[in-house]
Amino acid sequence: MKSILKSIIEDSRDSTKLGQVATYIPELAKGDRDALGACIFDVNCDSILEGEYKTKFTIQSVSKVVILICALIDNGKDEVFSKVGSEPSSDPFNSLLKLEINENHKPLNPFINAGAIVCTSLVSGDNGIEKFSRIHNMMKKLANNDDIDVNYSVYNSEKLTGNTNRAIAYYLKGANIIEKDVEDILDAYFKCCSIEVVVEDVAKIASVIANNGVAPWSNERVIPEEVNRIVKAIMTTCGLYDTSGTFSVNVGIPAKSGVGGCIMAVVPNRMGIAVVGPALDKHGNSVGGVKVMEDLSRKLSLSIF
């Protein structure tokens, strides 16, 4: 498997030239456009690292998976889905378009920015600091790494320029979907997006989900079974922004991408996979990451369908 991953990464390198690093958050523009690295971490704790696997990146929208896990554990399925939908969106991740016409102004799903901001507001904690700390602790536990932390340059850059997210959050407050202080919730959301990781951290998070919510290294249940099932379902239908359907056809694995260039993928009962390649396509997905996932899925017969 190591040699297969190595040759797939080498074959996919050219594709990164077709993408651009995200620039709408100024600090993300510093990402290495040519980097491509991956980690496979299986449910027996065997791991494979290839390419530029030491590349550090901010987790961005991949954190939405952890935010959803915390929101579901803290509130239950019915409460969460009374405030956010579970339908795919055909609009960009930061779109405000449907909020006005959706039933009760609910965001379409937890993996677009509007839905993730609502889920952040639902996480336990009296304020943004406590909510962030709940999500951060869950992320450290899922990655089995106590050292992962916020990249404060990216966080400050997001906070300074995150006006679309601010518009989304204030709209949701006006529609009574968010009840607490908007700036406080946004602060927790920006910090979650700005957590800095390497592919091994993300592959380990995915391996817990692949292992039905039980950490492979300790046999401790971290995610309740029902929550784990829901998260995999939403990853399958909504994980790659407005190209989730195409990804299901070509890869067929529950996954979540982020504008830091990461794709996290969960092969149920088998392995977690993380790929990083900061050059993005126009939908916000890593170009190299998608190519690596397509080839891996085909060569290792990973599609769940």
The reply to whether 43 sits near ligand GLU by the rule CB under 6 A is no
Give catalytic status of residue 256 as yes or no.
no
- Contact between 69 and 227 (Cβ < 8 Å): yes
Residue 172 CA, chain-centre distance (Å), reads: 22
**Percent helix, percent strand, percent coil in the chain, to nearest 5:** 55, 10, 35
Give catalytic status of residue 64 as yes or no.
yes
For residues 262 and 98, give the distance between their C-alpha atoms in angstroms, rounded to a whole number.
26
Q: Phi, psi (5° rounding) for residue 163? A: -75, -30
Where in 143-172 is the site for ligand GLU (CB under 6 A)? Answer: 158, 165
Residue of minimal CB distance from ligand GLU? 61
Comparing CA positions, the residue from 41, 27, 59, 13 lying closest to residue 198 is 59
The reply to whether 193 sits near ligand GLU by the rule CB under 6 A is yes
The reply to whether 285 sits near ligand GLU by the rule CB under 6 A is no
Which residue, 88 or 216, has its beta carbon nearer to ligand GLU?
Answer: 88
Give catalytic status of residue 259 as yes or no.
yes
Give catalytic status of residue 24 as yes or no.
no
Give catalytic status of residue 61 as yes or no.
yes
Where in 75-104 is the site for ligand GLU (CB under 6 A)? Answer: 93-94
Q: Of these residues, 15, 61, 157, 257, which one is catalytic?
A: 61
Which residue, 59 or 230, has its beta carbon nearer to ligand GLU?
Answer: 59
Binder of ligand GLU out of 15, 55, 61, 237 (CB under 6 A)? 61
Q: Phi, psi (5° rounding) for residue 250? A: -90, -25
| CA dihedral sign of residues 8, 10, 11, 14 | positive
Q: Of these residues, 189, 231, 251, 256, which one is catalytic?
A: 189
Which residue, 253 or 259, has its beta carbon nearer to ligand GLU?
Answer: 259
Binder of ligand GLU out of 60, 86, 144, 237 (CB under 6 A)? 60
Comparing CA positions, the residue from 17, 46, 65, 50 lying closest to residue 238 is 65
> Which residues form the catalytic set?
61, 64, 189, 241, 259
